[in-house]
Amino acid sequence: MRLVVGSLLCAVGITACGGSGPTGSNGGSKPSGGGVSASVSVMNYAYSPSNVSVGAGGTVQWTNNDGTTHSVTADAAGGFSSDLSGTMADSYGGMTAGGTFTQKFPGTGTFTYHCRYHASMHGTVTVGP
């Protein structure tokens, strides 16, 4: 029952926001036909800057510069999510610094996100016309 209600609420939310959500890629490559509109560094258990603004169709790239695993996970159900994997194992079973994640935001809106490993880490991407 919860799944059905959650799915219905998600569908209503997507329709109310224009039906277009962000699309992402990981692995550190920049998107074709453009480049990175904003960059976010992950250091000292924080996103810096924690709030960025891009135009519709813009991209944001996060880079893990910490010695522990972090993620970039949308607060909205079904949104983007990626671990920022580096080259060496850490104590969480993930990977350390060096990982990147690039997310394209095709439509306008405000997209909040967090680190699924560290509850104090939050950020916002604002996408304008």
- The count of other CB atoms within 10 Å of the CB of residue 110 is 12
Residue-wise pLDDT tens digits, 67-85 = 788 899 999 998 999 988 7
Residues 97-120 have pLDDT tens digits of 778 999 999 999 999 999 998 999
Please check whether residue 56 lies inside any domain of the structure: yes
Edge-to-edge strand ranges of the sheet holding 81-83:
51-55, 122-128, 109-114, 71-74, 81-83
Number of Cβ within 10 Å of residue 101's Cβ equals 25
Element (H, E) at 3: helix 2-16
pTM, two decimal places: 0.69
Domain total of the chain:
1
Handedness of CA 38, 66, 27, 17 (dihedral sign): negative
Per-residue pLDDT at 13 exceeds 80: no
pLDDT of res. 68: 81
Domain assignment of residue 17, yes or no? no
In this prediction, residue 33 carries a pLDDT of 38
Domain that holds residue 123: 22-128
Say which CATH number the domain at 116 has.
2.60.40.420
